[in-house]
Structure 1
Amino acid sequence: MKYLIVGLGNIGPEYVDTRHNIGFNIADKLVEEQDGSFELLKLAYYAEVSFKGKKLHVIKPSTYMNLSGKAVNYWMKELKVAPENVLVLVDDLALPLGKLRMKLQGSSAGHNGLKSIEELCGGQNYARLRFGISDNFRKGQQAEYVLGRFDKDEQKELPTLINKAVTMIKSFATIGAAQTMTLYNK
């Protein structure tokens, strides 16, 4: 079985370690733990790693967040990965920091990366791992907030949360989304 794991984010040094790039951070940790490395290929940074006999094809789209679907669509077709074997790692304003939720499908909830995937990949039939970044911003400041870096207190929590997200990805690949949701969505 092969899986496509998609970390959402924006390329470029100005976006490194921002809230919107948490998907990239999780993908980096997964690949690092499995002794893999990324290389820039068509539309994405790509790595292939194995876990318990499962092939995990991990991408970080190089298309910027709003065009993520272009990379996901290409790699799904290139690797012949079914939508049920795709997991998108995404930041979520609706969840407080520290909350991780796996969902089998659902709306984009206004997230431009997910909107692009829906439009270019044929709907909402893919799993997503939602990483809570909270909504601690004033009205009209959403863009600045998601493109901002985590504060010092939040940064202390990140390694533990990223490790938990990696554990959930491995669970998704071995026991499936439904059982992973039962185990981890508390």
Structure 2
Amino acid sequence: MVVGLGNPGAKYHWTRHNIGFECLNLVHRKLGSPSLQTKFEGQFAKVKQGGQDVCLVWPLTYMNLSGRCVAQFARFYRIEPANILVVCDDLSLPLGKLRIRKSGSSGGQKGLEDILRCLGTQDVPRLRIGIDPTPDRWETADYVLSKFAAADKEVVDQALVRADAAIACWWSDGIDVAMNLFNASEPRSPKRPKQKPSDTSPGSD
């Protein structure tokens, strides 16, 4: 199962916190846009990869409650935590940098934190995509819920393409190979936004 994290609704499209959704959208398109269904408080599609069924899951519970959706899918389809890859944003990484890990803490990412809590283990693979640290004079909740700037688009698009390739590598060759191939890439980071937006919606981070 591959899980992309984000908040549902048009107002969150292309926000930093939704880069997990954006990544899974790209994976879904490149796999031919198989039909989407709604189940267990999430949107999902089933695809075949390497002779195995793979679920692509977008939790629709809002970020902080992502684990509720993921745990239901895992129980129903009998998917072990080690076979779930969570794709999410990371404030500690430069914009566009990928980091794949087999396990560990949430690092403060609240959606991942809820997934680890609901599954009862930290041994859940995750693919983090850097969104840059919170700039000066910003609140973190405002920053992650703000949209990427036009200057960010090229770096973010490239990161999503690399993330799609990393996911394909994970399910074909395993996480160790994916870590070796994709953790080393170093993207260029453009200037970060300086002004706080006035229309952010705190409370969904």
TM range (shorter): over 0.9
Supply the AA of the counterpart residue of 1:24. F
**Structure with more strand by fraction:** 1
Among 68, 74, 77, which residue is 1:76 paired with?
Answer: 74
Question: How much does 1:147 deviate?
Answer: 0.3
Query: Compared with structure 1, are the counterparts of its residues 56 and 18 closer, same or farther at alpha carbon in structure 2 (3 Å cutoff)?
Result: same
Instruction: Judging by fraction of residues, say which structure has more helix.
Output: 1
- Alignment partner, residue 33 of structure 1: 30
Specify whether residues 155 and 37 from structure 1 end up closer, same or farther in structure 2 by C-alpha distance, changes over 3 A only: farther
Instruction: Find 1:123's aligned residue among 121, 124, 137.
Output: 121
Distance 2:16 2:83 in 1: 25
Give me the whole-angstrom Cα distance separating, in 2, the residues matched to 1:133 and 1:10.
16
TM-score (structure 1 length as normaliser)? 0.94
3-state SS, counterpart of residue 131 of structure 1: strand
Distance 2:38 2:13 in 1: 17
**1:140, distance to aligned residue in structure 2 (A):** 5.2
Paired residues of 1:34 and 1:51 also in contact (CA < 8 A): no
SS at match of 1:101: strand
Instruction: Give unpaired runs (5+ residues) of structure 1.
Output: none
RMSD: 1.2
SS at the partner of 1:57? strand
Is 1:21 the equivalent of 2:18?
yes
Calculate the TM-score normalised by the size of structure 2: 0.86
Asked if the contact 1:54–1:174 (Cα under 8 Å) also holds between the matched residues in 2, the reply is no
Which of the two has higher C-alpha Rg? 2
Give the whole-Å Cα distance in 2 for the aligned partners of 1:24 and 1:124: 22
Instruction: Find the aligned partners of 2:36 and 2:148 in 1 and give their Cα distance.
Output: 24
How many pairs are equivalent? Answer: 183
